Amino acid sequence: MRISLQAQLGDFQDRHTIYVFALKMSFLAVTLSSVVILLILPPLDWMGLLPVPLADGVVYGVVLSWLIGGVVSSVLSLVAGHAMHQLSVSRAKFEQLSRTDVLSGLLNRRAFTEALEQADGDACLAIFDVDRFKAINDRFGHACGDAVIVAVSAILAAAFDGRSVAARLGGEEFGAIVVGGSQEQRTERVRTVCARLAALPIAADNCVVAITVSAGIAELRGGRGKEAAYSAADKALYLAKALGRNRVVHENEGLHPGWRRHLPEEVSAARAMSAGCDEARLA
């Protein structure tokens, strides 16, 4: 008889599984003890060491093995099952904590990178950054800054659920993998989130803060490296910041001719140098 021990600890997250495990182990233990009794009693009877007739000895041995062995093995199996259940729950909590940002409750950067590796097809990467976040911390204190992070996280979590996913990448920077719809629809979702954040006063620690958020978007098309997509989204975010913040820039928008006069000279020069390097790499 072969009974699975369910060695994977994840199976023991359900308490019902513990009782099934104990029942199986008890049945296996009693069955094995009965087999041992049936093998030992005949030689003992042949040597004259059995104080009762063989048939009676078999009956007594099997009954006692089921009564005593069954109870003992059940208790031991339950103890072992509960221990494995606690270990499984602890492991699941640890795994969740290792993938979750403590303050925001969103995925952390490591978990977001893993999700990014699995994303493909109709999806884009959006990187959000709270505008002038350092000034908020300096003026109102870090408690207010934490409240801003929590409020932004709550809106991102509500806006990008289901197939999409949001994460806190660090500090005041957030990321989202927006899945489904056309490129225009995904971009509009990001713009809607930024507009909602701009219209939401955040109250904390006897202060009310109005924030704006800038975002850069890059497409996660098939065959494109995730590092390249992240770099493109980061450049788009940098451009959104340089254009005055509180805006969303898609990588495909490029540098609109009307934007050039609003950019600092060093930003325009940096973009020209970056474009020249990209052309050199392609050549």
Q: With DSSP H G I counted as helix, E B as strand and the rest as coil, what are the percentages for the chain, rounded to 5? A: 65, 15, 25
Mean pLDDT value across residues 194-203:
92
Q: Determine which one of 172, 173, 253, 279 is catalytic.
A: 172
184 confidence band (pLDDT: 50, 70, 90): very high
Radius of gyration of the chain (CA): 32
What percentage of residues in the chain have a pLDDT greater than 90? 39
Domains and CATH numbers, the chain: 9-99 (no CATH), 109-256 (3.30.70.270)
User: 5-9, 146-150, 188-192: which range is least confident on average?
Assistant: 5-9
Nearest to 246 by CA among 128, 78, 70, 120: 128
Residue that wins the pLDDT comparison between 180 and 93? 180
**Active-site residue flag, 95:** no
Nearest to 271 by CA among 247, 248, 246, 254: 254
DSSP 125: E
